Structure 1
Amino acid sequence: MWFHTWTAFIEWFGLRDNVCPPTLQRLAAHATIYSLWWERNNRLHNSISTPLYVTFKKIDILVRDSITARKDRKKFRNLMSLWLKHE
């Protein structure tokens, strides 16, 4: 999943299909927004910019950790394989 504009991100988030369940969409959206917010604050308050690959890795780790923490719940059982499939 790659987005070049907020419009594309919002369109993807509103898309409902059989490929990406809404739960995974919400996790990815949350991790993306949180990581961008964190990066913005880090630049603004600490004058430190992290490389883009670090931000992408942070998003990946946030989603994986969220799925792993809830792996026993019915909605989350197959999400890790779907997340890894779309890497």
Structure 2
Amino acid sequence: MVTPRLNGGSAMGLVNWSQLLQWMRTPSKTISRILKRLVAQCTIYLIWMERNARVHTGLTLSAAEIFKRIDRTTRDSLLARYSRRRCNGLLLQWFTYS
């Protein structure tokens, strides 16, 4: 199983909504607030898409494939914002933990 590593290199142990919100609110020296929000948005969106696929088509993806899609969607979103001054360094932060 693939485990995301976004809090200083240790595995994230987020198992419920409250823990996700707490992770997003907790300041970090290594992960910017913008990156945390972007990762949370990508994760929520792709979990919702997976839920809809399972309910409406019966198709399912493995956890590893969902993590790959979260990674790819996050990278694409960061690349789209690459030239913005506020987003400088976000791609490097993402590559550090992925």
Query: Same fold per TM (> 0.5)?
Result: yes
Structure 1: which 5+ residue stretches go unaligned?
Answer: none
2:50 to 14, 39, 45: 39
Residue in structure 1 matched with residue 85 of structure 2 by the alignment = 74
Structure 2: which 5+ residue stretches go unaligned?
Answer: 1-5, 7-11
2:66 to 48, 55, 59: 55
- Once the two structures are TM-superposed, the CA of residue 17 in structure 1 deviates from its matched residue by 2.1
In the comparison of the two structures, how many residue pairs are matched?
Answer: 87
CA deviations on 1:26-62 (whole Å, 9 max, x unpaired) are 1100000001000000000001111111100010011
- Once structures 1 and 2 are overlaid, which stretch shifts more, 33-42 or 6-15? 6-15
In the alignment, the residues of structure 2 paired with residue 52 and residue 6 of structure 1 have an alpha-carbon distance, to the nearest angstrom, of 18
Task: Compare relative contact order (CA 8 Å, sep 6+) and give the higher one, 1 or 2.
Answer: 2
2:30 to 2, 19, 37: 19
Aligned AA (2:54):
R
Higher relative helix content: 1
- Once the two structures are TM-superposed, the CA of residue 10 in structure 1 deviates from its matched residue by 1.6
Q: What is the Cα-based RMSD across aligned positions, in Å?
A: 1.1
| Runs of 4+ deviating beyond 6 Å | none
TM-score, normalised by the number of residues in structure 1: 0.92
- Once the two structures are TM-superposed, the CA of residue 4 in structure 1 deviates from its matched residue by 2.6
In the alignment, the residues of structure 1 paired with residue 72 and residue 86 of structure 2 have an alpha-carbon distance, to the nearest angstrom, of 19
Q: Percent identity?
A: 31
TM-score, normalised by the number of residues in structure 2: 0.82
